[in-house]
Amino acid sequence: MNDAETRFETLAVHGGEPRPAPDGSVVFPIYQGTVFESALGSSVDDVRYIRLGTNPTQCHLHGRLAALEGAEAAVATASGMAAITGVLHSALSAGDHLIAAGTFYGGTYRFLAEQAERLGWTFDLVDPVDADTWTKALRPSTKAFLVESITNPLIRVGDLEGVARFARSHGLTSIIDNTFATPVNFRPHSVGFDLVCHSATKALNGHSDIAAGAVTGSERRIEEVASVLSAYGGSLDPHAAFLLARGLKTLALRVRAQNANALAVAEFLASHERVAHVSHPGLASHPDHERAAALFDGFGSVLSFRPVGGVGAAEALVKSLRLPYAASSLGGVESLVTRPAAGGHTGPGAAEAEGVDEDLIRFSAGIEATEDLLADFAQALEG
């Protein structure tokens, strides 16, 4: 199968799959073993060992992930944070400087705020839309540029093509967290990004039952990331790898249903008198709508909004919704709703750095019937 000529729905089912699979199995099996026989004199690269990420089930998943992002290689990790920290460790050494888009996931911000100095790194936060801020942040020691495809939780879309060009022109490693967009909607390698990260706990798996991460890129860069992961013990368990590979088969169907639900809810909220503001790139009123429409095949499953009435109204609204679970993750088949300032974006300076106010609500659309979600929001707002 020529991946470059295959439609994404087919690629999600068949991309990276060996034909024939072991013993003729249609579903690649779980190899739970930690170690496998190697020929005498084999190099470490030829050793099959679970911590090295070279268990057969892990290797199968790596091929699937690379096919979906259109990359030479991939490696799975024990969590999304293992993915982003593994990438940063592979790109930065003591004394190096990082440019990072100033609106991103609180866990990533906390890692940089709490650990960068210990590691000998420095970093500056920039506006992902304003290239002048990138130039002002650039130093002789700058080695990498980190951005998200859709920012969490403010739901902005930066000048991603510009970031990739800027990084390339200055010899920087360009890194993008593509969790919110997913490869269904956007494939960052196609516009020049070096390394693409995911919290595969979210949409890639899609069923809220494993923690995992993923990194894709060139063979050389993935070897560097895998070396870091091996040293820190960040490889993914084979059973979780099996579940993630299974989840990928329905990725296109799930994400497109979630795209449609999120846009419908965003349009409903934007027209409601009890909603003060809605942020979703599918709305024509969104400041990044034209850029997102040009870059993406879909606008994503997540939106954020503020109800009229401040934090009290936000708390009451979250409690009044019947279908979405009040939970801080996203990308699953079930809808979720949370107040980021009270969940994943808490911590020293995280909320302040990202403008995450107390009344901000983040909604992750699942695959429920659109009409039922709209009816639920209607009753919650009226109540």
- Which of 177, 237, 359, 376 is flagged as catalytic? 177
- Which of 48, 64, 143, 202 is flagged as catalytic? 202
Distance CA 30, CA 39 (A): 23
Tokens of 252: 């296109």
- Which of 64, 105, 254, 359 is flagged as catalytic? 105
Distance CA 324, CA 191 (A): 35
Q: Looking at this protein, which amino acid is placed at residue 306?
A: R
In a 3-state reduction of DSSP, which class is residue 277?
strand
In the chain, what is the greatest distance between 2 CA atoms, to the nearest angstrom?
72
Distance CA 287, CA 269 (A): 17
Annotated active-site residue 143? The verdict is no
260-103-289 Cα angle (round to 5): 40
Distance CA 200, CA 212 (A): 5
Annotated active-site residue 48? The verdict is no
Q: Looking at this protein, which amino acid is placed at residue 55?
A: N
Annotated active-site residue 105? The verdict is yes
Distance CA 285, CA 280 (A): 9
Distance CA 130, CA 86 (A): 28
- Which of 49, 51, 246, 357 is flagged as catalytic? 51
Annotated active-site residue 249? The verdict is no
**Which residues are part of the catalytic machinery?**
51, 105, 177, 202
